[in-house]
Amino acid sequence: MPDKKGTKQDGGDESTQSNSSERTYCFSLATCLEVVSKLTHNQLNRELMLFGMSQENVDKLEKPEKADLLRVYMHDGTSKTITQTTDKLISLTQMFTRSANDTMTSVQKSAADVQLLLSSAQKLEPPTLPPPTLPEAAEAVPRTEDAPTGGTIPYRSLETNNSLARFDFASLDSELTFDSIFANRKVAYFGDVPYKYSGGHHKAKQFPSDSKLAEILVVVEDICKSNGLNFKEFNSCMITKYESPDAHIPPHSDNEASIAAGSSILTVSIGGTRDVVFRRRPPGEQQTQTLTVKHGDCYVMTRSSQDFFDHSVPRVEPARYDSPRISITLRKLEKVSKPVTSSDGVNTKNVLILSDSKNPSFDCSELKAPIAAFRDNMFYLRDLDKHREAIRHSDVVLISAGINDIKKNRVSPRKLHDHVRNFVVQFPNTQFLFEAVSPVTMAADPFHTLNSAIDQFNELMFKCSLHHENFKLFDNLGFSLAHLSRDGLHFKPNGQRVISDCWKHVILIKFGFRHAPLPIRKNFLTLYEGKSLSRWVRNRDIWR
Ligand SMILES: O=C(O)CCC(=O)C(=O)O
Ligand SMILES: [Fe+2]
């Protein structure tokens, strides 16, 4: 029978263990209840007293009542046992839940630690490589006899055995369609991947298989073999046509991130003779080297040499010019077209300078990474359309033109303004820096007709700068210095230098490398005296 402590073990019949004070009955409850009904009066009394009833009270009860009471006690004892067991189970469950929760928390913490480790591993700088040194370039491009002292030559002329001589400019030219992207040269592009560079962008385009171009490349493949070059690596072909003495490509480096590291850049020359000028960066006159390329010549540069040298095909004096030339340049481009970046991986800011003949010698390479500047001729503002593609791919477009539209074409200031504003609206992501048209001297404009049109135009452009965040007007202060000009319209070389410096200055301001207001003459501000100007000046940052 269960005792007061409710200890209970199922066991065999009648095997009763008894002690004086504490007895443990190894029977099930059902057996116990059955036994109770068979107990004698005295046995019931004893049992009841064991459950704490006094002799006196036990005596008062009849036998059936005693048996019932005993049953109640026994039930009570059993439920107590059940409650205790349940409590124990609950507390065990709670304990397990707690420890499961603890385990879960520590698992989560470990997972977070692993995440942290992974992400910090990703953020870890790659091991710093020693900066590239010129001897590295020397290794890629072997020295030649005529290398200047202490320098290397960034190109190699290939032995062609005259194998390209049988091709001619005219038949190649006649089968090509050029995208007129640049005013100073014409360009066509074929390749598996698009090619983007400072100032230009070409979509991938299938190479014409049955063509003169394809025939030329069959010969170039042989030339590559005999010169130890891997022709198969080339997957892009850029064709450039220089059809006048004025046609040229300004100094630049083929250093776009999309050109595969360690690859070669091969150029074939068909047609007229031209000079290719290589220059050590930073530019220094004594370090330029000229390669004269004739019909059928081939030269190769390495991608790595582009970090140390730039190259250009300058204009030629008409007297030295023989005939038009086409160059075919083969490159290995990465399949994934990356944004244009400078060699140190910083995203390049592309600047396009569109200017009339004021400053043909502007040296774009004086603007250093992350700025990549490119200048193109734009004699008339009406020709903005021709530069649409280049504008689209530029972060900043500096425009220095307008005088020829006003002076030569007599375009009305309003019309000209509307034309420029159209572009500003069409390319909201491009920042335009517009150089105010400079007034000409009294000698050049005795009746003040030209200057009054110029004033009207500048005034409209200034208003435009107040309305369009991506358009800013600046004044090239060099224009007001009469001694820098030949005739009140054209500049002497030192005048061109002053103008170039101002262009650089405003570009550096634009990218936040110089902290200064954009130069602008006072009378623009006085045009808007009073409330309206102060409101504009307050609400809009007209200076930057
Ligand atoms: O015409 C050439 O020889 C040079 C062309 C070039 O430099 C270029 O396309 O990047
Ligand atoms: Fe180039």
Chain segment 451-492, per-residue pLDDT in tens: 889 989 998 998 888 888 889 999 887 666 666 666 666 767
pLDDT classification of 381: cutoffs 50, 70, 90? very high
pLDDT over 60 at 96, yes or no: yes
| The two structure tokens encoding residue 463 | 């208003």
* Residue 448, pLDDT score: 85
Asked whether the predicted pLDDT for residue 144 surpasses 90, the reply is no
Ligand 2 midpoint to CA 189 (Å): 14
Percent pLDDT > 70 in the chain is: 72
Distance 76 CA to ligand 2 centre (A): 101
Q: What is the pLDDT of residue 497?
A: 79
Pocket test for ligand 1, best of 253, 258, 276 (most atoms within 8 A of CB): 276
- Pick the residue whose CA is nearest to atom 1 on ligand 1: 327
pLDDT at 166 over 70: yes
pLDDT band at 117; cut points 50, 70, 90: low
Give the mean pLDDT of 130-135.
34
Q: How many CA atoms lie within 13 A of 234 on its CB side?
A: 23
Average pLDDT over all residues of the chain = 77
Best residue among 270, 313, 340 to mutate for probing ligand 1, ranked by most atoms within 8 Å of CB: 313
Residues 385-404, mean pLDDT to the nearest whole number = 90
Is the C-beta atom of 238 inside 6 A of ligand 1?
A: yes
Q: What is d(CA 91, CA 96) in angstroms, rounded to the nearest whole number? A: 9
The whole-angstrom separation of Cα 519 and Cα 505 is 9
| Of 400, 402, 384, 382, the residue nearest 392 (C-alpha) | 384
Residue pair 382/417 in contact (Cβ under 8 Å)? The answer is no
Name the amino acid, one letter, at 338.
K
* 120: confidence class by pLDDT, cuts 50, 70, 90: low
| pLDDT for res 283 | 52
Higher pLDDT among residues 199 and 140, named by residue: 199
For residues 200 and 127, the model is more confident at 200
The whole-number pLDDT of residue 129 equals 37
Complex confidence, ipTM = 0.99
Pick the residue with more confidence: 78 or 215?
215
Q: Is 313 in the pocket of ligand 1 (CB under 6 A)?
A: yes
Q: Please tell me the least confidently modeled range out of 102-106, 153-157, 219-223, 532-536.
A: 532-536
Quote the ligand 1 centre to 327 CA distance (angstroms). Answer: 7
**Strand order through the sheet with 264-271:** 155-157, 298-302, 264-271, 325-331, 236-242, 186-191
Residue type present at position 59 = D
Instruction: Choose between 481 and 48: higher pLDDT.
Output: 48
Query: How high is the pLDDT of residue 478?
Result: 65
pLDDT, one tens digit per residue, over 500-520 is 888 999 999 888 888 777 887
Tell me if 311 CB under 6 Å of ligand 1. Answer: yes
pLDDT value at 361 more than 70: no
CA 271 vs CA 235, 239, 524: distances in Å: 24, 13, 52
Residue 399 in this model has a pLDDT that exceeds 60: yes
> 184: Cβ below 6 Å to ligand 1?
no
Q: Are 525 and 504 in contact (CB under 8 A)?
A: no
| Nearest CA, atom 2, ligand 1 | 327
- What residue's CA is closest to ligand 1, atom 3? 327
Q: Is the pLDDT of residue 290 over 90?
A: yes
Cα Rg, the chain, nearest whole Å: 46
Closest CA to 328 of 110, 459, 483, 173: 173
Instruction: Give the lowest-confidence range in 14-23, 95-104, 521-530.
Output: 14-23
CA of 479 from ligand 1 middle (Å) equals: 34
Q: Which has the closest alpha carbon to 396: 370, 362, 377?
A: 370
Please report the pLDDT score of residue 360 as a whole number. 64
Question: Which pLDDT score is estimated for 228?
Answer: 94
Ligand 1 centroid vs 453 CA: distance in angstroms? 41
